[in-house]
């Protein structure tokens, strides 16, 4: 629904990560897959999920007699362990074991280190393309005789920041995740309840806004985004202020919000 609402390009979506099989976290998926099919998608789609999603999808395809135009590659997540589940040239994805009523994992997305950027104003006559490519990797260019021909720092700027983002939903308060997410740019952490319903959070294996903020503070993240608010709350300002009293740089997860990270 939101992909349509915000007119995001479906065809760029090649990897989907599902934290757990509670209905509010995956029931929209089959409709999305059928929409991709109707839009004549042909490129592979990778699904990462706990055990069961493949079985559910296969049954839905069977009873609708559907053969999708594209291949779905299912990746089984093993619960209760941190694991690198995806890596390409620019990003890695690790699972974050969470504590919930059923097997549930968060995901840690990290951009890899980026190349140094050539400071174009300082390029000189006679530099070769292979010199420039080497400079981007951070090395100095040596002459055949062993002298420094071009000193890297004279011609390059530091790489752009490599962003990191953790998605932690749904989970009880869990200090075990802190070292894995330490220092990341953005932590999404569920905050189903207000502090007054702390006992309810414990029982249902959810977190309060205060607990989410305590995790963000202990992990020294840059920004905390809280979400997954219980429908019982008619406003979210209380959740925000409870979190901000512990961790000031907290924002609310509002669908469609675009967040500029100041890192």
* SS3 per residue for the chain: CHHHHCCCCHHHCCEEECCCCCHHHHCCHHHHHHHHHHCCCCCCEEEEECCCHHHHHHHHHHHCCCCCCCCEEEEECCCCCCCEEEECCCEEEEEEECCCCCCCEEEEEEECCCCCEECHHHCCCCCCHHHHHHHHCCCCEECCCCCEEECHHHHEECCCCCCEEEEECCCCCCHHHCCCCCCCCEEEEECCECHHHHHHHHHHCCCEHHHHHHHHHHCCCCEEEEECCCCCCCCCHHHHHHHHCCCCCEEECCCCCCCCCCC
Does residue 102 touch a copy of itself according to CB under 8 A? yes
Residue 14: which of 75, 82, 65 has the closest Cα?
Answer: 75
CB of 251 to a copy of itself, least distance (A): 26
Nearer to a copy of itself, 172 or 243 (CB): 172
Q: How many residues bind a copy of itself (CB under 8 A)?
A: 23
Residue 234 as a binder of a copy of itself (CB under 8 A): the answer is: no
* Residue 154 interacts with a copy of itself (CB under 8 A): yes or no: no
| Cβ at position 222, least distance to a copy of itself in Å | 34
Distance CA 155, CA 144 (A): 20
Q: How far is the CB of 174 from a copy of itself (least distance, A)?
A: 19
Could you list the active site residues? 24
Site for a copy of itself in 37-96 (CB under 8 A): 50-53, 55-56, 59-60, 62-66
Among 11, 24, 133, 241, binds a copy of itself (CB under 8 A): 24
Nearer to a copy of itself, 30 or 238 (CB): 30
Least Cβ distance, residue 50 to a copy of itself (angstroms)? 8
Q: Which of 13, 16, 21, 123 binds a copy of itself (CB under 8 A)?
A: 21
Residue 10 interacts with a copy of itself (CB under 8 A)?
A: no
Q: How far is the CB of 78 from a copy of itself (least distance, A)?
A: 16
Catalog residues that contact a copy of itself under the rule CB under 8 A. Answer: 21-24, 27, 30-31, 34, 50-53, 55-56, 59-60, 62-66, 101-102
């Amino acid at each position: 629904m939101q992909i349509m609402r915000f007119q995001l390009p479906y065809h760029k979506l090649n990897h989907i990560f599902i934290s757990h099989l509670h209905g509010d976290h995956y029931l929209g998926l089959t409709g999305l897959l059928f929409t991709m099919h109707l839009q004549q998608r042909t490129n592979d789609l990778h699904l990462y999920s706990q055990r069961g999603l493949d079985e559910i999808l296969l049954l839905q395809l069977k009873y609708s007699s559907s053969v999708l135009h594209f291949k779905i590659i299912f990746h089984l997540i093993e619960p209760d362990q941190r694991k690198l589940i995806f890596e390409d040239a620019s990003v890695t994805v690790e699972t974050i074991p969470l504590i919930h009523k059923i097997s549930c994992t968060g995901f840690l997305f990290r951009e890899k280190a980026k190349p140094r950027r050539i400071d174009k104003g300082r390029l000189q006559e006679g530099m070769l393309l292979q010199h420039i490519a080497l400079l981007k990797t951070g090395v100095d260019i040596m002459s055949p005789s062993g002298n420094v021909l071009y000193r890297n720092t004279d011609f390059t700027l530091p790489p752009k920041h490599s962003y990191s983002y953790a998605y932690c939903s749904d989970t009880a308060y869990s200090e075990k995740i802190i070292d894995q997410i330490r220092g990341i740019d953005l932590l999404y952490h569920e905050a189903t309840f207000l502090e007054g319903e702390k006992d309810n959070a414990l029982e249902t294996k959810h977190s309060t806004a205060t607990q989410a903020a305590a995790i963000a503070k202990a992990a020294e993240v840059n920004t905390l985004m809280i979400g997954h608010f219980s429908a019982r709350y008619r406003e979210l300002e209380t959740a925000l202020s409870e979190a901000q009293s512990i961790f000031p740089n907290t924002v609310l997860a509002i669908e469609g919000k675009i967040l500029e990270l100041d890192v």
